[in-house]
Structure 1
Amino acid sequence: MGIPNRTSHANRSVSQVDPGGTVSEASNYIGGSFGRGSAEPLDVIDPATGAVVRTYGSDDASSVAAAVAAASAAYPEWSRATPAERSGALHALAAELTAREDELVTQECLQTGKPRRLAAGFDVPGSIDNVQFFAGAARRLDGMASGEYSGDHTSSIRREPIGVVGSIAPWNYPLQMAVWKVLPAIAAGNTIVLKPAENTPLTTMLLAEACEAAGIPAGVVNVVNGTGPAVGSALVSSPDLAMTSFTGSTATGRVIAGLAAVNGTRLHLELGGKAPFVVFDDADLDAAVHGAVAGSLINTGQDCTAATRAYVHRSVFDEFVAGVADLMRGIRLGTQDDPDTDLGPLVSFRQRDKVAGMVEKAVAEGARAVCGGTIPGGALADGAFYEPTLIVDAAQDSSIVQDEVFGPVLVAIPFDTDDEGLALANDCPFGLAASAWTGSVFRAHRAARELAAGTVWINDHIPIISEMPHGGYKASGYGKDMSAYSLDDYTQLKHVMTELTGAVQKDWHDVVFTTRS
Structure 2
Amino acid sequence: MFTLNKFYIDGAWVDPSATETMPVMNPASNSQIGVLSLGNGDDVNAAVAAAKKAFESFSKTSKAERLELLKRLLAVSKARQEDLAQAITTEMGAPISMSRASQADCAVGHLKGFIAALESSEERETLANGDILSREPIGVCGLITPWNWPINQIALKVIPALATGSTCVLKPSEHTPLSAQIYAEMVHEAGYPAGVFNLVFGDGPTVGSALSRHKDVAMMSFTGSTRAGILVTKDAADTVKRVTLELGGKSPNLVFADCDLETRVAESIAECFHNSGQSCNAPTRMLVESSCYDKVLEIAAEAGKAQAVGEPTQIGDHIGPLFDQIQYDRVQKLIQVGIDEGAKVLVGGLGKPEGLEDGWYVKPTIFADVTNEMRIAREEIFGPVLVIIPFDTEEEGIRLANDTDYGLAAYLQTGSLERAERVASQLRAGGIHINGQDAGYGSPFGGYKQSGNGREGGRFGLEDFQELKVRAPIKL
Q: TM class by shorter-chain length?
A: over 0.9
Partner of 1:60: 40
**1:83-232 mapped onto 2 (5 Å cutoff):** 83-142=63-122, 145-146=125-126, 149=129, 154-232=130-208
CA shift digits 1:124-182 (9 cap, x unpaired): 12221211222333334325742573xxxx41100111000001001101111111110
Q: Which of 10, 18, 27 pairs up with 1:31?
A: 10
Gap change, CA 1:397 and 1:144, over 3 Å in 2 = farther
The alpha-carbon deviation at position 287 of structure 1 amounts to: 2.1
**1:91-490 mapped onto 2 (5 Å cutoff):** 91-142=71-122, 145-146=125-126, 149=129, 154-340=130-316, 342-376=318-352, 378-460=354-436, 463-490=438-465
CA shift digits 1:391-430 (9 cap, x unpaired): 1222311211111111101100000000000100000000
- What one-letter code is carried by the residue in structure 2 that aligns with 1:490? F
Cα distance in structure 1, aligned partners of 2:121 and 2:102: 28
Is the 8 Å Cα contact of residues 98 and 317 (structure 2) preserved in structure 1? no
Gap change, CA 1:444 and 1:378, over 3 Å in 2 = closer
Cα distance in structure 2, aligned partners of 1:408 and 1:147: 50
The alpha-carbon deviation at position 484 of structure 1 amounts to: 0.7
Is the 8 Å Cα contact of residues 45 and 52 (structure 1) preserved in structure 2? yes
Q: Which runs of 5+ in 1 are unaligned?
A: 1-19, 503-517
Cα distance in structure 1, aligned partners of 2:223 and 2:244: 9
Is the 8 Å Cα contact of residues 335 and 341 (structure 1) preserved in structure 2? no
- What one-letter code is carried by the residue in structure 1 that aligns with 2:208? G
**What's the secondary structure of 2:39's corresponding residue?**
coil
Cα distance in structure 1, aligned partners of 2:237 and 2:461: 21
Is the 8 Å Cα contact of residues 353 and 363 (structure 2) preserved in structure 1? no
Is the 8 Å Cα contact of residues 114 and 442 (structure 2) preserved in structure 1? no
Cα distance in structure 2, aligned partners of 1:147 and 1:327: 55
The alpha-carbon deviation at position 316 of structure 1 amounts to: 0.8
Gap change, CA 1:421 and 1:134, over 3 Å in 2 = same
Partner of 1:513: none
Cα distance in structure 2, aligned partners of 1:69 and 1:307: 42
**What's the secondary structure of 1:498's corresponding residue?**
coil
Q: Across the two proteins, how many residue pairs are aligned to each other? A: 475
- What one-letter code is carried by the residue in structure 2 that aligns with 1:449? S
Cα distance in structure 2, aligned partners of 1:75 and 1:469: 26
Cα distance in structure 2, aligned partners of 1:147 and 1:331: 55
**What's the secondary structure of 1:80's corresponding residue?**
coil
Partner of 1:512: none
Cα distance in structure 1, aligned partners of 2:422 and 2:379: 26
Moved more, 135-144 or 450-459: 135-144
- What one-letter code is carried by the residue in structure 1 that aligns with 2:454? G
- What one-letter code is carried by the residue in structure 2 that aligns with 1:237? R
Gap change, CA 1:223 and 1:77, over 3 Å in 2 = same
**What's the secondary structure of 1:106's corresponding residue?**
helix
Is the 8 Å Cα contact of residues 125 and 134 (structure 2) preserved in structure 1? no
Cα distance in structure 1, aligned partners of 2:116 and 2:453: 24
Q: Which has the larger radius of gyration?
A: 1
**What's the secondary structure of 1:239's corresponding residue?**
coil
Q: Which runs of 5+ in 2 are unaligned?
A: none
CA shift digits 1:219-260 (9 cap, x unpaired): 111111111111111111101110000001111111111111
Cα distance in structure 2, aligned partners of 1:33 and 1:499: 44
Cα distance in structure 1, aligned partners of 2:232 and 2:246: 12
The alpha-carbon deviation at position 321 of structure 1 amounts to: 1.5
The alpha-carbon deviation at position 352 of structure 1 amounts to: 0.9
The alpha-carbon deviation at position 340 of structure 1 amounts to: 3.8
Cα distance in structure 1, aligned partners of 2:470 and 2:140: 22
Gap change, CA 1:493 and 1:391, over 3 Å in 2 = same
Is the 8 Å Cα contact of residues 277 and 384 (structure 2) preserved in structure 1? yes
The alpha-carbon deviation at position 318 of structure 1 amounts to: 1.3
Gap change, CA 1:427 and 1:219, over 3 Å in 2 = same
Moved more, 324-333 or 199-208: 324-333
Is the 8 Å Cα contact of residues 27 and 58 (structure 1) preserved in structure 2? no
Cα distance in structure 2, aligned partners of 1:198 and 1:437: 38
Gap change, CA 1:318 and 1:131, over 3 Å in 2 = same
Q: TM-score, normalised on structure 1?
A: 0.89
Cα distance in structure 2, aligned partners of 1:211 and 1:241: 21
Partner of 2:51: 71
The alpha-carbon deviation at position 86 of structure 1 amounts to: 0.7
Is the 8 Å Cα contact of residues 86 and 135 (structure 1) preserved in structure 2? no
**What's the secondary structure of 2:78's corresponding residue?**
helix
The alpha-carbon deviation at position 74 of structure 1 amounts to: 0.6
Q: Percent identity?
A: 37
Partner of 1:12: none
The alpha-carbon deviation at position 283 of structure 1 amounts to: 1.2
Runs of 4+ that moved beyond 4 A: none
Gap change, CA 1:82 and 1:379, over 3 Å in 2 = same
Gap change, CA 1:392 and 1:27, over 3 Å in 2 = farther
The alpha-carbon deviation at position 498 of structure 1 amounts to: 2.5
